Amino acid sequence: MTTTPDNSVAVHCRGVDKFYGTGEARTAALQGTDLDVYAGEMLMLVGPSGCGKTTLLSVIVGILNHDAGEVVVFDQDIDKLSTSGKTRFRGQNVGFAFQQFNLLPQLTAAENAALPLLIAGLPRRRALPRAEALLVQMGLSGRTRALPAELSGGQQQRVAFARAMIHDPRLIVCDEPTSALDGKTGDYVIRLLREVAVKPNRAVLVVTHDARIFHHADRIAEMEDGRIIGIHRKQDKTGPFALAPGGPGGYMQ
């Protein structure tokens, strides 16, 4: 039996299974996984390496097909889309930011940030000014024409975030976005992402091991062995997260 998400639910996963391999080598990456991500929130997904976090992220955005269950993203049943339909859906609705920034070394900061617009067919004369304006908003005034090699790690990450947001996606997904950054820079870019990206019609989903940024989340979903085993909420807007008895396996303080 499936359930229908209400209008505030951006991502709705119920009973999601994902297997790799066949026969005796068959391994369950996701096992009856349930998760809702609400519009207007930043949810962080935590858990040990190999627990299924990145697999779940890939299933939600349609990069990987799931074997059972239901995945609905902003009212779109991902399973009902063709391969080309999933590609179009991601291009229109999803922004990506990864641990490796994946900036093209021969392009300037503005050109890298503008890539989703250029791929969608927006003329360069319109795409680049939009990218430059967003980079200025993210504190990169004067660096919009710099090449990636001329930027610091934190500056490169801000370009990657700008690229993820430039086409105004409804869902932004980040996979370990701060693990290569020092604490101060990581905190800054996540705070900046939150200020720019968390809006009532948008959701941000962050896969992370980085306890230094947990306080920026609205909720933290803890994952283990392919399942969501707990959802943790802040006790108030600035305080620590309310934890289940015994704590979440050392992932939160």
Task: Please tell me the least confidently modeled range out of 65-79, 110-124, 230-244.
Answer: 230-244
Which pLDDT score, from 0 to 100, does residue 7 have?
61
Domains of the chain: 9-242 (3.40.50.300)
176: CB partners within 8 A, 6+ apart: 98, 99, 207, 208, 209, 210
- Asked whether residue 151 carries a pLDDT value surpassing 90, the answer given is yes
| pLDDT, tens digit (0-9, with 9 covering 90-100), for 19-48 | 998 888 889 999 999 999 999 999 999 999
Global pTM?
0.83
Which pLDDT score, from 0 to 100, does residue 5 have?
55
Which pLDDT score, from 0 to 100, does residue 241 have?
56
In the chain, pLDDT over 90 holds for what percent of residues? 60
Q: Would you tell me how many other CB atoms lie within 10 Å of the CB of residue 252?
A: 20
Q: What mean pLDDT value characterizes the chain?
A: 86
| pLDDT, tens digit (0-9, with 9 covering 90-100), for 101-126 | 889 999 999 999 999 999 888 999 99
Which pLDDT score, from 0 to 100, does residue 187 have?
85
Which pLDDT score, from 0 to 100, does residue 62 have?
93
Q: Which two tokens stand for residue 205?
A: 């989903």
Q: Which two tokens stand for residue 250?
A: 């050392």
Q: Which two tokens stand for residue 105?
A: 């070394």
- Asked whether residue 244 carries a pLDDT value surpassing 50, the answer given is no
Question: What is the C-alpha separation between 53 and 3, in angstroms, rounded?
Answer: 23
Which pLDDT score, from 0 to 100, does residue 252 have?
43
